[in-house]
Amino acid sequence: MPFVCPRCKKPIASRHNLTTHLKGSVARGGHSLELSEARRVANNTPRMDDLVQYARAEPTLSRATVKRPSDPYLAFLYDLFTKIVKNRSLPGYEFERRVDTLILEFLPDILESKPMGWGGVEVVMPEFPVRGDEQAQGDKQHDAADALLHRVSPSPAWVIFELKTDMRTALSKDSQDQLERRQRVVQQASSFRTLRETAMRVGTDPKYENLRERLRASVHLVDEPVELLYLTPTTIAPERDRCWNLTFCDLKDLGLKRNGAVWRLFRDIVVGTICQEPRSS
Ligand SMILES: [Zn+2]
């Protein structure tokens, strides 16, 4: 079976059947999606053989023209980025955690460029605890979003950020469940106040006090709305009010003014290998 349903992992014979399955009623084993959303999810689901091939492939530099720079600092980064990409094909290598650290440095400038075109973006903190209303009390019950951002324009908002660098995990049931939880949190929170109150309560580890201090120190208003931003290889999230899905494919030709030379290296070595266009058939 060339496809697996991203929602329930059921093997499916064709993209057409996947669309039918996604829009089918829950009673009949489907997911009751609107036709347009079912089509969108089906079109973004890669074929299994592509994913296997992708996992096995020795990562190659996306542009044969990437030369090791003569500047010693840039050369150090070239070596670092190249190793991260090369080690990605090894089991247990947490590629996403490593990319996470680097991408957060570029993220404000990325979001201030097209296609997002936001202004005044700040990474308030990494690993921000969020919790759905339906979840029980207790330290172990919250899970952390990859980062909490704040944006000034086009309208002030707090943005929960999630990063996925591998379509196989992005389309896994765990990941799809997480996406639904995040969307629910965003839809239910009338402002950041609710999320802040939750974050101020969770955790007994002394490190949570540092998190609370950082929240207390933030100059941004807690009454501002909450939005969700996913950065994924290709689209995984249906477009919804206040929910954004930027893709690594959107970034492969992007130039940045700040740290431009470092970004170009990162883009050409790392971003190009994450961007993965699904085949149309
Ligand atoms: Zn399914």
State in Å: Cα 281 to ligand 1 middle: 19
Q: How far apart are CA 193 and CA 146, in angstroms?
A: 19
pLDDT-based confidence at residue 146 (cuts at 50, 70, 90): very high
Q: Where are the alpha helices (DSSP H) in 14-151?
A: 15-23, 35-44, 48-56, 72-87, 95-112
State in Å: Cα 5 to ligand 1 middle: 5
State in Å: Cα 93 to ligand 1 middle: 29
Does residue 37 carry a pLDDT above 50? Answer: yes
Contacts of residue 165, Cβ cutoff 8 Å, sequence gap at least 6: 95, 96, 99, 233, 248, 274
**pLDDT, position 151:** 97
Average pLDDT score, the chain: 87
Paired residues of 162 in beta bridges: 230
Which of these, 35, 32, 36, 28, lies nearest to 7 by C-alpha position?
Answer: 32
State in Å: Cα 244 to ligand 1 middle: 23
Give 167: exposed, middle or buried? Use CB within 10 Å, 0-12, 13-18, 19+.
buried
Query: Ranked by mean pLDDT, which of 58-67, 173-182, 260-269 comes out on top?
Result: 260-269
What is the DSSP code string of 248-268? HHHHTT---STTHHHHHHHII
Give yes or no for a contact between 185 and 197, defined as CB atoms under 8 angstroms apart: no
**pLDDT, position 279:** 46
State in Å: Cα 31 to ligand 1 middle: 6
Which of these, 133, 147, 64, 136, lies nearest to 105 by C-alpha position?
Answer: 147
For residues 144 and 44, the model is more confident at 144
Which of these, 254, 94, 263, lies nearest to 165 by C-alpha position?
Answer: 94
Does residue 148 carry a pLDDT above 50? Answer: yes
State in Å: Cα 270 to ligand 1 middle: 32
pLDDT-based confidence at residue 133 (cuts at 50, 70, 90): very low
Task: Render the burial of 12-46: b for 16+ CB within 10 Å, e for the rest.
Answer: beebeebbebbbeeeeeebbebeeebbbbbbebbb
**Alpha-carbon Rg for the chain in angstroms:** 20
**pLDDT, position 204:** 82
H-helix or E-strand spanning residue 67? none
User: Could you read off the pLDDT of 200-249 as tens digits, one per residue?
Assistant: 988 888 999 999 999 999 999 999 999 999 999 988 876 778 999 999 98
Sign of CA dihedral 147, 153, 154, 156: positive
State in Å: Cα 279 to ligand 1 middle: 20
State in Å: Cα 236 to ligand 1 middle: 15
pLDDT-based confidence at residue 134 (cuts at 50, 70, 90): very low
3-state secondary structure of 222: coil
Which of these, 154, 147, 76, 153, lies nearest to 107 by C-alpha position?
Answer: 147
Provide the whole-model pTM.
0.78
Q: How far apart are CA 158 and CA 140, in angstroms?
A: 24
Does residue 167 carry a pLDDT above 60? Answer: yes
Question: Both tokens of residue 155?
Answer: 């309208």
Contacts of residue 43, Cβ cutoff 8 Å, sequence gap at least 6: 15, 278
**pLDDT, position 159:** 98
Termini Cα distance of the chain:
14
Does residue 255 carry a pLDDT above 50? Answer: yes
State in Å: Cα 35 to ligand 1 middle: 14
Minimum mean pLDDT range among 79-83, 173-177, 209-213: 173-177
**pLDDT, position 267:** 95
Mean pLDDT within 98-117: 96
State in Å: Cα 89 to ligand 1 middle: 28
3-state secondary structure of 270: helix
**pLDDT, position 281:** 39
